[in-house]
Structure 1
Amino acid sequence: MKLASSLVPHQWRLLTSPQLSLQAFIFSTASTTKSHTFWSPSLRQCRNLQTALSPIVSSSYLPTSYITQKQIEIPTSPEKQSPPVQEGLGAFQKLPMVMPSIDLYASALRKSKRVQPTKGIANIAKRERNRGAKQLDAFMKELALPLKGYMESFPRKKLLHPYERSLIDLTLGDGKYEEVLGKVDVLRKKVQSVGKEHASLCAKALSKKEAEERLSEGVEKLELVFQQQGGAVDDLLTIAKVLRAMPVVDLEMPTLCLVGAPNVGKSSLVRILSTGKPEIIESSRNALQVTDTPGLLRRCDEDRNNLEKLTLAVLTHLPTAVLYVHDLTGECGTSPSDQFQIYKEMKERFKDYLWIDAVSKCDLLGGSPVMYAKEDRSSDDAEIIKYRERGPDESIHVSVKTEQGLNELKNKVKEVLSSEMEKIQSGEKTDQSVATC
């Protein structure tokens, strides 16, 4: 039996037919792999995420032209600085490809060694110290400028869409994103400081031998800096891979979010909806994002794990209609009484959303409602007794095995699609506020 804590976002599936385009955000069992030291459990589970909706950055690392065209420091007066602009959804797919620290160091060293002294210097000592100073300066820039580029290319968290801010916190851990970026910036400043210091010392050398020694010392010092602090670059590389693989959502497209306790049959219904026949949607212009979320357990928000919080983030920050799935057979591991309490809480919290109720596995339901031995039924009211028998009022009873109720569910989804699109076009429920410091 799978628990909610074993489910993680796995992929967005884009399925297209002549008259239907559906995206499915599938949560599935995570593979257990050896993780980086700072990763939270959620990050370990999310490391193999993939997305098919946005192209990965086509180029590898930062181009050389970036290094040759940009200065180390470009002071900007406060009046010329542009006000911060909030990123739209999809900011993660714009992240740069981060070079591993060992490759960044080796590339910078190799390029710096190709730097030649200024032509026309006849004195051997002057020529050698000129060469050494120029090589150390080039080495420093080849290290510092890519780091500066990373700092500029990774968006400030407070400018991200609230949904993507939630993804960062729930997958990386609270504060980890800012911490790693801060360490990369510290490394950049240290590289600049050490590089400039030793380039200056090399330029003041009195002999060819001293200039060579100063050059060697400078290279060793920069190597030591990268040995001690270069792990921040590798941490940033890991973060970039994880965030780029996060699912992409479209705020202009309605989202149908499947919610319920663990193992109630949400994933099976996602597969049915995302491979539906063309008659579900009559217009090729219509598209629906179908989102299968981790299961919710009966407990307060403070006790929820990160996967349950991810479900709440989807409901809170995306233009969402809810397909709530109930399992009254007793197979899912959550009693009907607990499912009823979870359902009531979610229905009250998101009462303004368009809502569909579906009772799954109806082919397994017998004449009598399922009763759990540990349930205290002495205080049951008429509402919960009725729920055990038939589920919520107006719920659609479906069976993937016998296909009972599937056409009715698809038609209902079609109605929700049209209604949700109207809400999106009118600007309702789209949370694009910028967090304040």
Structure 2
Amino acid sequence: MTRACATLTLFLGLPQGTMGFASSFSACRSQASAAPRTALLRAWGRTSSGSSSERQPLRHLRRRRSEGLVASLSTKGEREGNPATEEEAQLLQHLSSPPKSQRRHQQQPQQPRTSTKRGTTRKRLTSTGGLKSLPIVTPSIELLSHASRRSKKVSQDMLIKNARNRSRKWVAERMDMLGKATSKPLRDIIRQYKHQLPILHPFEATLADLTVRAREKTGERTLQSVLDDVNDFRKVALEISKSAAREGKLGEKKSEIMQTMDAGYSRMEDHFLTNGSVLEDLTEIQKSLRSLPIVQLHLPTVVLVGAPNVGKSSIVRAVSTGTPEVNSYPFTTRGMALGHMFHPETNARYQIMDTPGVLSRPDGERNEMEALTLASMQHLPTAVIFVMDLSGHSGHLSSLDNQMQVRHELRRRFPRRPWLDVVSKADLPRLELEKAKEALPEGYLDLSTLDGTGVEELKTRLFEMYEIIERILAPPPEVQR
């Protein structure tokens, strides 16, 4: 891992308060689309003999303990305290390079790691996009059709002269192939989820947690519950194929052996048509997670934070080059405007991000939108513009007292982040200006996106903040040996 990644890791810090996925993930129950049985049996090369077993609902095997698919995602140390301040303090050490004589003796910063159940550790991802690597779930009917085609390709061993013995081996091998072709893809999906989720970048881990927390509020099941059902579904399918293979080996007549194979295919079909909706449940979760927007970590970013309705989105539109894109998240109806700015001399590209409003209240009472704002400040290499509105038109939740309380709390959490205070809507009468003069920090900027007051000054200040972040993200000079 390069020093640049190590520097970025120290700047971002470890995730704090990230809730376990197993207690949060959920999915929508969807109905299995039933295909005609004759069509499926035709794909196997045989038709049903009419002796198919009665459909049985999936009997859930013994439930695993609800300890969380990725309970190791957040260690006890990460849940306690407030690491943001410590990492920001270390950030300043990287703003000035040490003498060359000291560089070779410096200890390399440790990459963030996550524990596993066996006590070993794996490095967390230092880039976003890990959710795009989650496995794609094959629909149940498609998986069954693919497995049946593979089993159909199994040919008889013509070296066996006895017709009964030849049929016994053929049926056993076809049933064995049917079981493997249905079980292995599902087993691989479960393993990939268990591997990928614990090592997500902290910002993406927070987004995933917020997404499924919102789904859980609608009464849907957790991800752990869905994955347990998929594993139970896989085990039942494998047992059906093994049972049919055993029965085929015991057949006395060729006709009985063929009927055993037909019955095995029929039981497998019944199982998929009755219980295959569990795969559609996992598909719904997968779609939600893979659709989350990706934030470019290599681009210096400034986030606009503040109480609701203070004019953050208007500021993003005013300073952006072109029309800002709107990133949508499943857990909120309000998207985040993401604009881009280009340096007038170097043409370097930067990001400016609007965030949902934050209210003055304990973290335990915050909603998903507020948690998204805090995550963008904690886990992304960002500078901060705190936006205030003194016009009195932002609602009672955005009163001057509430806005100053929010500012005080955020500034306390992130004391060393590059920071600029902006008072928006300068074109409107300042109903609370006299009261605010004592509370407003020195060096704040008056701004109006309507008449352009302070917009050019804001752009200048933004480029100064971008340069600070750019210095942090830039890799250090090569160490001379």
TM > 0.5 fold call:
yes
Q: Map Cα deviations across residues 230-289 of structure 1 (whole Å, 9 max, x no partner).
A: 3332222122212222122233332211111122221222223332697645323x3323
> TM-score with structure 1 length normalisation?
0.68
Q: Map Cα deviations across residues 93-127 of structure 1 (whole Å, 9 max, x no partner).
A: 22232222232223323443343323344544334
**Could you tell me how far apart the structure 2 residues matched to 1:216 and 1:359 are?**
75
Change (3 A) 1:387 1:103: farther
> TM-score with structure 2 length normalisation?
0.63
Answer yes or no: is the 8 Å Cα contact 2:319–2:341 preserved in 1.
no
What corresponds to 1:128 in structure 2?
Answer: 167
What corresponds to 1:15 in structure 2?
Answer: none
| Structure 1, unaligned runs of 5 or more | 1-36, 41-80, 371-381, 428-437
Aligned with 1:394 (options 431, 437, 443): 443
Answer yes or no: is the 8 Å Cα contact 1:359–1:398 preserved in 2.
yes
Change (3 A) 1:102 1:329: farther
What corresponds to 1:304 in structure 2?
Answer: 366
Equivalent residue of 1:359, what SS?
A: strand
Please say if 1:149 is aligned against 2:185: no
Answer yes or no: is the 8 Å Cα contact 2:179–2:237 preserved in 1.
yes
Change (3 A) 1:404 1:221: same
- Tell me whether 402-411 or 169-178 shows the greater mean CA deviation: 169-178
2:432 partner amino acid? P
1:98 partner amino acid? V
Cα RMSD of the aligned pairs, angstroms, is 3.0
Q: CA deviation at 1:228?
A: 5.1
What corresponds to 2:385 in structure 1?
Answer: 323
Q: Map Cα deviations across residues 59-108 of structure 1 (whole Å, 9 max, x no partner).
A: xxxxxxxxxxxxxxxxxxxxxx9963433421112223222223222332
User: What aligned pairs does 1:420-435 form with structure 2 within 5 A after superposition?
Assistant: 420-425=469-474
Q: Map Cα deviations across residues 196-236 of structure 1 (whole Å, 9 max, x no partner).
A: 23222223222122212221232233334434543332222
Change (3 A) 1:161 1:182: farther
Answer yes or no: is the 8 Å Cα contact 1:136–1:198 preserved in 2.
yes
Equivalent residue of 1:323, what SS?
A: strand
**Could you tell me how far apart the structure 2 residues matched to 1:39 and 1:267 are?**
32
Change (3 A) 1:92 1:269: same
Q: CA deviation at 1:355?
A: 0.8
**Could you tell me how far apart the structure 1 residues matched to 2:402 and 2:176 are?**
66
Answer yes or no: is the 8 Å Cα contact 1:340–1:387 preserved in 2.
no
User: What aligned pairs does 1:7-406 form with structure 2 within 5 A after superposition?
Assistant: 38-39=26-27, 84-88=122-126, 89-154=128-193, 155-173=195-213, 176-227=222-273, 229-275=275-321, 280-284=343-347, 286-333=348-395, 334-364=398-428, 366=429, 368-369=431-432, 385-386=436-437, 391-406=440-455
Change (3 A) 1:398 1:221: same
- Tell me whether 298-307 or 264-273 shows the greater mean CA deviation: 264-273
Q: Map Cα deviations across residues 281-304 of structure 1 (whole Å, 9 max, x no partner).
A: 5323x3323222211122111111
Q: CA deviation at 1:195?
A: 2.0
Change (3 A) 1:287 1:117: same
Q: CA deviation at 1:423?
A: 2.4
**Could you tell me how far apart the structure 1 residues matched to 2:153 and 2:276 are?**
23
Q: Map Cα deviations across residues 355-406 of structure 1 (whole Å, 9 max, x no partner).
A: 1222222112x25437xxxxxxxxxxx9x53268xx5432222222222211
2:442 partner amino acid? D
**Could you tell me how far apart the structure 2 residues matched to 1:239 and 1:337 are?**
40
Answer yes or no: is the 8 Å Cα contact 1:280–1:411 preserved in 2.
no
**Could you tell me how far apart the structure 2 residues matched to 1:296 and 1:368 are?**
22
Answer yes or no: is the 8 Å Cα contact 1:117–1:134 preserved in 2.
no
Equivalent residue of 2:383, what SS?
A: strand
Change (3 A) 1:134 1:423: same
Q: CA deviation at 1:417?
A: 0.6
Q: Map Cα deviations across residues 331-365 of structure 1 (whole Å, 9 max, x no partner).
A: 2222222112111111111112111222222112x
2:315 partner amino acid? L
Answer yes or no: is the 8 Å Cα contact 1:280–1:410 preserved in 2.
no
